[in-house]
Structure 1
């Protein structure tokens, strides 16, 4: 039977995914540790202009809060803040395609007749 001391520490991997290539660090934290505890134990944010409050955190790609509990062999991921709003970026891409006059861009325009070179049968 395992002793209580062996269960008091768990192994966790912390990944900093804001730089290329990502940096991975294995840390040992107490069994009751949170995501924030693992990030602090890894020391990956030291020397960077990132804070836990501004970063998005996750465990195996699922978004988690800093006070979420960890399990043995979890991978905590530190993602930087969003640079651009995804909705705004998509609108800009659509506007750019529409402005070029391509068939794909014209498909998005509402209430507009198809181009004259289309064959309708």
Structure 2
């Protein structure tokens, strides 16, 4: 590879299907541009690369349209959350508290 291009990876996964691509991109390419150049939306219809949340090696990138990619990095395309994790934890805690109270009532 010449010094004007970088080799990076792009990955996207569903529960039943995953895809990892290796790309050569010009230096100065942003994280968002890498995702768009990957063509990952051809493998996953409905995937909106222009709006999808992105990360690098498991860390979300807050400004993917500004963050410039570096040699060897892996761009991860994230799926939108189905449920808010905080809300799910609250519901789980409330259910556990109800179960504990029911157990205490049956022992009394």
- Answer 1 or 2: higher relative contact order, Cα 8 Å, separation at least 6: 2
TM-score (norm 1): 0.73
Is 1:72 matched up with 2:68? Answer: no
Match of 1:27 among 23, 29, 51: 23
- The answer as to whether partners of 1:18 and 1:78 remain within 8 angstroms in 2 is no
Runs of 4+ in 1 over 4 A off after TM superposition: none
The alignment of Structure 1 onto Structure 2 pairs a total of residues equal to 103
Q: Which runs of 5+ in 1 are unaligned?
A: 107-115
State the secondary structure of the residue aligned to 2:75: strand
Quick check: 1:50 aligned with 2:47?
yes
**Structure whose alpha-carbon radius of gyration is higher:** 1
Contact kept? 2:36, 2:50, Cα under 8 Å = no
Q: Flag structure 2 segments of 5+ consecutive residues without an equivalent.
A: none
Looking at structure 2, the residues matched to 24 and 63 of structure 1 have their Cα atoms a distance apart, in angstroms, of 18
